[in-house]
Chains A and B, each alone.
Chain A
Amino acid sequence: MVLPLIKTHFSPLRSLLTIEKEEKDVLPTGPQSIVLMWKKANPPGRLHLCEDTPTGFAEQYKTLSSLGIPFSFSLRLVVCEDMAIKNEESLKTEHKVIVLAKNSTGIADLNKIYTIAATEGFYYNPRIDLKRIEAMWTPNLKMIIPFYDSYLYNNVVSNGMCSFVTSIKPAAYLSEHNGIPTDTAMNAALSRRVDDAAIVKAQTIYYPEAKDFDAYLTMRIIDKKSSMDKPNLPDMCSDEFSFQKWTSTF
């Protein structure tokens, strides 16, 4: 089973997916509701939300619970070497981790971590260091290492100088394959560096279908303040980060 990592519009300018629970609230030519798509597809397992902020959790909880859709909530956090250091060099130490809330107390713990990241740690984006996460860590949380933008990915494929020294043992390292030219090699690199038993197949989901990639790319270009002729978005070539692709895996 491929783990779906769903981002919604509560991660600003990173997803075309919304969470309306009724068809009448969705325009056929507008953003589509992942809740309605999930209901229609009726897949096994949980709907895994993996957001950049916790701001939508209350509404997501209310909607999904009312429909009886089992789900989990996680935050994709930007982690750096030392959040007190705010300069260009510190950007090279940034990478991402996914922190999953195991229960409702975990949600409260996540909110506390995010609050520090968004205030004390903020530098262009909310971010936090592993030392602080460790200090705030509870048994209600689980850490997962994403495939893209992890410390491994940034060190191996990009110019990152990321360290991952922590007493928190990641529950899993995620593996994805979305047609990006480095995916195969990066998966091989992951297998060499991490115990295979810890690797879990996943699919990040930003939009409903491949045909929606044009709209997704437009949104990302607006956010970047670049242009269609020169998007300046590294590796932005794949239309496979879709719910449609994930449903084809089962």
Chain B
Amino acid sequence: MDKHLLRFDFKSKILFFDFETQNLNLYKDFDLPWQYGYVLFQGTKVLKRGTNYIWWGDDYVVSPGAAFVTRYSRKKHKECGVDPAVAFKDLDDVVGEADIIGGHHVLGFDIFMWRNFILQMGKKVPEFTDWRWLDTLALAKAIHFQQVPPKDRLEQFLFQHKMLKTWPGKGFKFTLEELLKQCKIQYDPDQLHDALADIELNVEYWHHLKKNIDI
């Protein structure tokens, strides 16, 4: 048994998170999250799950494009929204428990949103490489391109970035929805783009993915 492979690892705590945000800008002054969802798990056992709507105030605006894709409801956002400091602490606490952080396109987007959230709260941005990272989009592409991720943590981190920037050409889709269909995981399309629902499906996809890649 190759114990370094995550499919045999039942000790490491893995946190998958997902942010819903104003738009696709990566800079803190223009894009902050209005919701996040997370699942903390060990092996296949879920330890914690959570979500928070973050209310930044009446001036906070979600772009029409983002609102359409995420089925954003300002009414729900305002009603359920909590103070950013409360939401931040909840996320910070669970991140502190994680050995590994992951998500779908997490290295291409959510890592920046997490960074923006941290900066907006006036905190110091941690060294991201203090955690091991799993980007299910990057790893799905690695399988497609028959690439084996390096074992070294830092090289693996960079490898996943490289995979995110490598495109297979027309006809290939790597959205979570498409990947779920490919591995026949049932889901409700209406629930997609709710942060917690997305991340729970993402975790289910990860359990399928890890069997097909040596990581």
Contact = CB atoms under 8 A, between A and B. Distances in A.
Nearest to B116: A237
A239 interface: yes
B42 interface: no
Interface of B: 22-30, 63, 65-66, 107, 111-112, 115-116, 125, 127-129, 154-155, 157-158, 161-162, 165-167
Interface in A206-238: 213-214, 217, 228-231, 233-237
A150 to B, nearest CB: 14
Main secondary structure of the interface of A (DSSP, over half): loop
A188 B154 contact: yes
A83 interface: no
17 contacts: A156-B158, A159-B167, A179-B125, A184-B129, A184-B154, A185-B129, A188-B154, A189-B155, A217-B30, A229-B23, A229-B63, A231-B24, A233-B26, A234-B165, A235-B26, A236-B27, A239-B27
A47 to B, nearest CB: 28
A87 B167 CA distance: 16
A45 interface: no
Contacts of B66: 229
B165 A158 contact: yes
A232 to B, nearest CB: 8
A214 B25 CA distance: 12
B53 to A, nearest CB: 21
B164 to A, nearest CB: 9
A50 to B, nearest CB: 23
Contacts of A184: 127-129, 154
A157 B107 CA distance: 12
A138 interface: no
A185 B157 contact: yes
A228 B161 CA distance: 23
Nearest to A184: B129
Given A159-B166, A237-B112, A237-B115, A229 B128 contact: no
A70 interface: no
Nearest to B112: A237
A228 B17 CA distance: 25
A181 B162 contact: no
A93 B127 CA distance: 31
Nearest to B111: A181
A181 B25 contact: no
Contacts of A156: 158, 162
Contacts of B166: 159
A185 B125 contact: no
Given A181-B112, A237-B27, A189 B162 contact: no
B23 A157 contact: no
B158 A231 contact: no
B65 A159 contact: no
B161 A157 contact: yes
Contacts of B63: 229
Contacts of B154: 184-185, 188-189
Task: Give the 6 A-B residue pairs with the shortest CB-CB distance, closest first.
Answer: A229-B23, A237-B26, A159-B166, A229-B63, A185-B154, A230-B24
Nearest to A153: B158
B61 to A, nearest CB: 10
A184 B161 CA distance: 13
A159 B30 contact: no
A182 interface: yes
Interface string A91-132: 000000000000000000000000000000000000000000
B158 A182 contact: yes
Contacts of A182: 157-158, 161
Interface string A151-190: 0000011110000000000000000000101101110110
A88 B115 CA distance: 34
A228 B128 contact: no
A181 B165 contact: no
A243 to B, nearest CB: 19
A234 B161 CA distance: 11
A213 B22 CA distance: 19
Contacts of B161: 157-158, 182
Contact of B25 (A179, A189, A228): A228
Nearest to A232: B24
Most chain B C-beta atoms within 10 Å of own C-beta, residue among A179, A185, A214, A230: A185
